[in-house]
Structure 1
Amino acid sequence: MTTTTRVPQEERTRAMRARLLEATVECLVERGFSGTSTTLVSERAGVSRGAQLHHFPTKNDLVVAAVEHLTEVRGAELAAAARALPQGPRRTRAVLEMLGDHFTSPVFTAALELWVAARTDATLLAAVAPLEQRVGREVHRLTVELLGADEQQPGVRELVQATLDLVRGLGLAATITDDTRRRRRILDRWAAVLDETLHPEPKGAR
């Protein structure tokens, strides 16, 4: 006798939502905000329009939830990458590489589409701004921790923020053209600046 295992409704709903969110991010990356529609997302996810509209009544609801979902996933990936970082003289450069990977990931591209669209859409901006502020605070906190930076020291907080602005800018440039060698040279030099400022050698050490 064959027994059929029934998947609980809650689990089916969770899996369906995940498919919708992942399909939304894929559409944002491939087609941009203007080319992403709820119909296209539901077709790609293999979910009925009725079910999609039940969970996400509007396009804005769907895209904000999708980027928040992928941001949480990427946050877990960042934490895992942080645990694998080396100690010693190459740590700072490895931290910058990890951050650089974060700002060239699909979730960054998807978020970028939302930022541009939110500039002229007050409703979308109201939803996106708090999410970006929360993500920004968390990435800043993680960067301080990984660099061993003491923000009580004058200028250190600004240096950490400049680091994030730098890698974010390189990530933005990477959406237009791949200039990996230039990016590596910039990160090499910035790692040296950070080490000289955050962890200077004691006088007379040489």
Structure 2
Amino acid sequence: MKDTPKARPRREGPAQARSIATREKLVETALDTIFALGYRSASTPEVVARAGVSRGALLHHFPARSDLIVAAMEKLLGDGTEEIRATAAKVARQEVSLDEFVEFLWQLFSGRFFYLSLEFINEARTDADLRARMIPVVKDFHAALDGIWCEFEKQAEGAGEPTRTALNLTVCLVRGMGVQTVLKDDPAYFRRMLDVWKTILPQLLQGRDTLR
């Protein structure tokens, strides 16, 4: 009996590769446009002009503005999720200290990623369709954060929920500070709070009974 020949992997042709590249460019440009102008001002004509593609190319990939917006949101949160998972792996290998983890969160929640997230979150408050499409992606994002919590819990000798509470407090802190940066341009102010929290956090983890 002859062996069934294995199917050869399909190779992308030049046209398909160009189509994929165009789609990725439109998504990245949409994010750049939202970051520069805000959600409401990021019109499809503006995205097309910035991306340097035809309107037909846009409509081929994204028939409606909402399709482009959701793809951009998924790209943003997907990239953030991958970055968090990579950090969780470093925590597992004990390559990231608690101080470095706090710094990582601060960078994540005080830069482009966070400001773009705010644009989507604010719009989702009154847009039920966008909110429904965001929820599963946001769940993946928080699941990745939970992966970091689990690694710290292992290092804290099975501290469990108290450790998770302390780390969630850290996220709430840097998220609130990130919102403040919109109206308060004072890096020294935020640096002082981070330094103080870096002193408090190990004490919380060591005195876990206070968090029960």
- Length-normalised TM-score, structure 2: 0.78
Report the CA distance shift for 1:143/1:24 in structure 2 as closer, same or farther (over 3 A): farther
Report the CA distance shift for 1:166/1:144 in structure 2 as closer, same or farther (over 3 A): farther
Report the CA distance shift for 1:182/1:66 in structure 2 as closer, same or farther (over 3 A): same
Q: Which moved more, 1:50-59 or 1:17-26?
A: 50-59
Is 1:8 matched with 2:4? Answer: no
Is 1:97 matched with 2:91? Answer: no
Is 1:186 matched with 2:193? Answer: yes
Please report the RMSD computed on the Cα atoms of aligned residues, expressed in angstroms. 2.7
1:53-68 alignment to 2 at 5 Å? 53-68=59-74
Q: Which moved more, 1:35-44 or 1:76-85?
A: 76-85
Contact 2:77 2:138 in 1 (8 A): no
Aligned to 1:129: 135
Report the CA distance shift for 1:59/1:101 in structure 2 as closer, same or farther (over 3 A): same
Between the aligned residues of both structures, percent identity stands at 34
Q: Which amino acid aligns with 2:32?
A: E
Q: Which moved more, 1:54-63 or 1:33-42?
A: 54-63
Gaps of 5+ in 2: 1-11, 208-212
Q: Which amino acid aligns with 1:198?
A: L
Aligned to 2:168: 161
Contact 2:85 2:145 in 1 (8 A): no
Contact 1:119 1:125 in 2 (8 A): yes
The number of aligned residues is 194
Is 1:140 matched with 2:185? Answer: no
Aligned to 2:203: 196
Contact 2:30 2:69 in 1 (8 A): yes
Deviations 1:3-40 (A, max 9, x none): xxx96222111211111111111111111111111111
Aligned to 1:37: 43
Contact 1:140 1:164 in 2 (8 A): no
